[in-house]
Amino acid sequence: MPHVPGDHYDIRTQGVSGQVVVGRNNTVSRVETSPVTPVTEQELAELRAQFARVRALLPEDAPDRAGELLDELEESATALEPDLSTMEYVRRWFGRHLPALAGAVTSLVIHPVVGRLVEAAGGTLADEFQRRFGDGDAY
């Protein structure tokens, strides 16, 4: 930015708490987020009960892989940093191999408790979660 005659700022502050903006043509943006409410043990137990409910829906002739993938999904979704790639893979696998259960598996992936666990892991992961699962219906 070229120097414009008369642009001179001599700023002296003491005890300033907060933001100070000095200059010409400044843009100030403020982003507020609400704090993430930690997931309680009761909420985790309810989520695990939902996983058990979906496991109970597996047909007797379902491949063993189906149960293993539900275990992987539960582990991935409840980890300190949820593994979105695993969550996406499991959801797609059910969409291809057991489509009758694809909706139930998707409901686990987009469960509100899973969403809060993802949010607690950080904004970038939460943004990626929204990008991958935001509509909840793409297999």
More confident residue, 15 or 87: 87
User: Does 46 map to a domain?
Assistant: yes
Instruction: Catalogue the long-range contacts made by 24-28 (C-beta closer than 8 Å, 24 or more residues apart).
Output: none
User: Does 101 map to a domain?
Assistant: yes
- pLDDT for 27 equals 75
User: Does 29 map to a domain?
Assistant: no
The alpha carbon of 51 is separated from its chain's Cα centroid by a whole number of angstroms, namely 18
Summarised one tens digit per residue, pLDDT across range 22-33 is 777 777 766 656
Summarised one tens digit per residue, pLDDT across range 34-92 is 677 889 999 999 999 999 999 999 999 999 999 999 999 999 999 999 999 999 999 99
User: Does 108 map to a domain?
Assistant: yes
User: Does 50 map to a domain?
Assistant: yes
User: Does 91 map to a domain?
Assistant: yes
Neighbour tally for 70: CB within 10 Å: 22
Summarised one tens digit per residue, pLDDT across range 91-132 is 999 999 999 999 999 999 999 999 999 999 988 999 999 999
* Residue 61 lies in domain: 41-133
Query: What global pTM score does this model have?
Result: 0.71
- 126 Cβ partners below 8 Å, 6+ apart? 118, 119
The total number of structural domains in the chain stands at: 1
User: Does 60 map to a domain?
Assistant: yes
